Chain A
Amino acid sequence: MLSTSRRLTRRQALASAGVGLSAVLAGCVGGGESDGLSTGILDPEQYGSGFAGREPPGGTSMADLPALSGTLDVYSGRGEALVRRVMDAIRSLYPDLTLRVSYGSSSDMVNKILGEGDNSPADVFYSVNAGSLGALAAEGRARELPSELLSVVDEEFQDPEGRWVGTSGRARAIAFNTDRLAAADVPTDIFEFPDRPAFRDEMAWTPSYGSFQAFVTAMRLRQGRPPTERWLRGMLDSGVQAYPDEFALVQAVADGEVALGFANHYYIQRVLDGRQGAPLATAFTQGDAGAVFNVAGAAVTDTSAVPETAANFVRHLLSAEAQEYFAVSTYEYPMIGGVSPVGELPGVDELAPPADIDLSRLSDLGPTIELLREVGAL
């Protein structure tokens, strides 16, 4: 850990640490290049040539945020592979901070917090989906976040009562093969897909995948069960192919096995990143379940002994560096205005997710799974 001399002023120390932070976030082991900007965090070699020349991220830099110190316990439902860099960056920035992160599945973490009751050590719950955040809040275990923090993120990506906030998002999207389809050929209405004769035997989905099930749940919540059932049956009649996971699905689209498939947007970016020049592009439906936008986010527990530090930590997740990291390394949608998503994706405000969806209800997968089984999709 860096042990900065106390003779430096706080600001100086943080500034110098900020550079180090960038280096860490850039994953420069053994001195890769930043592109010279103090908040530049991209190492083109790490993330592919397509990301060279990104605009420096807007938003508040970590260096400008209040310092973190003391001990903080984070229960993370997000995988260690994804978030360790951010955690390490924060650790290296704040030598006085002891940051303890426990990893597990989001619902395991919620159950753990609930089981621990008053004696829970958790200060922050960092979740991969809004459902778990909503569940924690519904059980009364999430503390209202400072309004200053909440103001950074759009209303639709946070709890109506301010008990959790989204930190990055993922959009349901259509992956399509550009050799087979033009962008205009892809419908913007999800309900049109089963009816297109050209799509017969050319579509793919992943009925066992959580995000897909969340999408079907959104459809069910908005339209009701019968139209959802009709859509599912229509898709099956249309010869839709099932894949075990969406990464494989998108690769199959890129390979031309099928013309289009439903996937989280970032899988498409991942495949594109790995295969330069693949005939693969992203499309979105407009304003319906097919465009549902789910967020990963964070909450501060009601039993936290250091709620201010915890909220501050969450604020760090919404910093310029962290948001840029999410955008660039996990291809997610950043939540703050100053950072744009990678690739040629529309910005988050250009997307048209369905407006009347309570994101936390997307985790109610039970009836969805039953429906999928009933129609024979699962």
Chain B
Amino acid sequence: MATRTGILDGTEWSEDVPLGLLLLAAAIAAVLLSPLLWVVSSALDASDWVGLATAPRTLSVLVNSGLLVGAVTSMSMLVGVPAAYLTVRTDLPARRAFTILLALPLVIPSYIGAFAFLSAFGPRGLLQAALEPVGIETLPSIYGLAGTTVVLTLYTYPYVYITSRASLLSMDARLVDAARTLSHSRWAAFRRITWPQIRPAVAAGALLVALYTLSDFGTPAVMRFDVFTRIIFVEYNDILGGGRDLASLLSLQLIAVTVVILAVESRVRGSGVRTARSAPGMTVELGRWRWPAVLACLLVVSLALLLPLAILGVWYLNGSASASLDFRLGYVLNSVTIAGVAALLCGVLALPIAYLSSQTAHPAAWIVERASYVGYAVPGVVMGLALVFFGARYGGVFYRQGLILLPLLVFAYVVRFLPQAIGSSRAAFLGVSGSLEEAARTLGHSPGQAFRRVTLPLVLPGIVGGAALVFLTTMKELPATLLLRPPGFTTLVSYIWTVQQAGYYAQAALPAVLLLVVSAGSMLVILASEQYDIGWGRR
């Protein structure tokens, strides 16, 4: 049994690894990575993969993807961190409302968000129509890197926002007050005191942003920017032209980029040691920055939330409907059920990996934790096809009968979204002082009992928050769902997609709103879980 000096010492990690835990976590990670074997083998099967890999087009896609990831990650930090700061530390008006509203854009699927943006600001969009009487014929093009970055930022910054908030809330903010009395300006106090404390959390959120950007298809497709996902999609569609080879190759490249990002974030994140105690500091008064801050928040909320809702309204009013595709509430039930199962599984499966990662910095544990993140960057279509391959190959008659399609779909969700649960659970474990477990040990509790009676209750809010995040992203996932859902199994998003394909936008509007409402519910759970200060109990 490994021993560990208390986190409060801020000192050494144990070099011992609890072997049973490591094996369990490694087994989970291995299972998560298994679909990627298909990607690797199909890529290497490709004829002339060297040539394909070094073709100018491939390289330009790589560059584009890199640029996009960099841009979106930076921008989402520029939006998410100030937003977190404003809602945690300052006297921002309507703070509670903004707290929730600023987190909500995460519930909007990218294809709806991008579409909304295009409808509003595109060459034939609402803005252009509104400005035309004034004589403005063409707007600056929103396509390409700029537009894609803006849209993706709007819908992914909440990742950074949420983790930054959690970190700010659990910080000892009195340190900042102390710095201020030492004649630090607010900015200097932030830079020297707050930033180093929240940096790991910001990095964790930024990691999710980066990986999501890599995997997202909807936005670059609509905004016409050639990144991995878009070209993979095009190539998968170009079956006759041998595009599948290139698609596999690009998927492999995408995974390689993911590994690099994971390594970089790990360095930035550090070992995740936190201060002993959280305490609120003085509220920062915004003074003359008050209304600019409010306006900035309103701008973000409007662009990210109101705009898609408005577009949905336009769909509803102006779109057409067909009589043949009725919406059934059972579809909601389907969505919620599989999302719930996925969330539950992720909450449970994340535990060994998160706990292991929080207890030791041993390289084996590090590899296991990082490996479990790779699935998050894999585009849904790739994941779906990988599981189709494995399911058919090893599923025998069960696959033919369609019996394992739903389990495969849930598995796809778990592979893709488990990292969200891991990040949240790991942070929760790190926040539990090591001396608490030791205290339980000295009071006659075995490691398992101590975990159950002390650690687990304290990390439960974090685990629930992570599971809620999985629920939310599963609800809006599209490409893997389309590929793997059994015949006759309709979910909210597959219904929306179906009617959209046929052009019946009016029929898509209400289900889309329903999707947002249900997802918003899970967002509230996420926000509620952060209120639990695990150092000293409920606020």
Contact = CB atoms under 8 A, between A and B. Distances in A.
Question: Do A and B originate from a single complex?
Answer: yes
A80 B322 CA distance: 11
B1 interface: no
B522 to A, nearest CB: 27
Interface residues of A, dominant DSSP: helix
A134 interface: yes
B487 A73 contact: yes
A119 B388 CA distance: 10
B366 to A, nearest CB: 33
Interface string A78-110: 011110110000000000000011111101101
Contact of B234 (A29, A100, A105, A366): A366
Nearest to A305: B400
Given A79-B502, A108-B482, A364 B241 contact: yes
A202 B182 CA distance: 71
A81 B240 contact: no
Contacts of B239: 107, 110-111, 114, 132, 135-136, 138-139, 363
B407 interface: no
Interface residues of A, number: 51
B241 A366 contact: yes
A111 B236 contact: yes
Contact of B402 (A80, A121, A135): A121
A104 B483 contact: yes
Contact of A81 (B123, B402, B501): B501
Contacts of A121: 399-402
**Residue with the greatest number of chain B CB neighbours at <10 A, chosen from A80, A81, A244:** A81
A120 interface: yes
A119 B396 contact: yes
A112 B388 contact: yes
Contacts of A244: 122, 124
Nearest to B237: A107
Contacts of A352: none
Interface residues of B, number: 43
A51 interface: no
Contacts of B499: 81
A102 B224 CA distance: 29
A88 B78 CA distance: 53
A333 B502 CA distance: 18
A81 B392 contact: no
B244 A81 contact: no
A117 B392 contact: yes
B392 A116 contact: yes
Contacts of A18: none
A365 B238 contact: yes
A292 to B, nearest CB: 17
Interface string B122-154: 111000000000000000000000000000000
A121 B402 CA distance: 8
A256 interface: no
Interface string B491-535: 000100011011110000000000000000000000000000000
A27 B238 contact: no
A101 B487 contact: yes
Interface in B52-105: none
Contacts of B486: 102
A165 to B, nearest CB: 18
Contacts of B123: 242
Interface of A: 27, 29, 46, 73, 79-82, 84-85, 100-105, 107-108, 110-112, 114-121, 131-132, 134-136, 138-139, 208, 242-245, 247-248, 360-361, 363-366, 369, 378
Given A29-B323, A108-B236, A248-B124, 19 more contacts: A81-B501, A103-B494, A104-B483, A105-B237, A107-B237, A107-B238, A108-B482, A112-B388, A112-B483, A115-B388, A116-B389, A119-B392, A119-B395, A119-B400, A120-B392, A363-B238, A364-B238, A365-B234, A365-B237
12 contacts: A81-B322, A102-B485, A104-B482, A116-B392, A119-B400, A360-B240, A363-B237, A364-B238, A364-B241, A366-B241, A366-B243, A369-B234
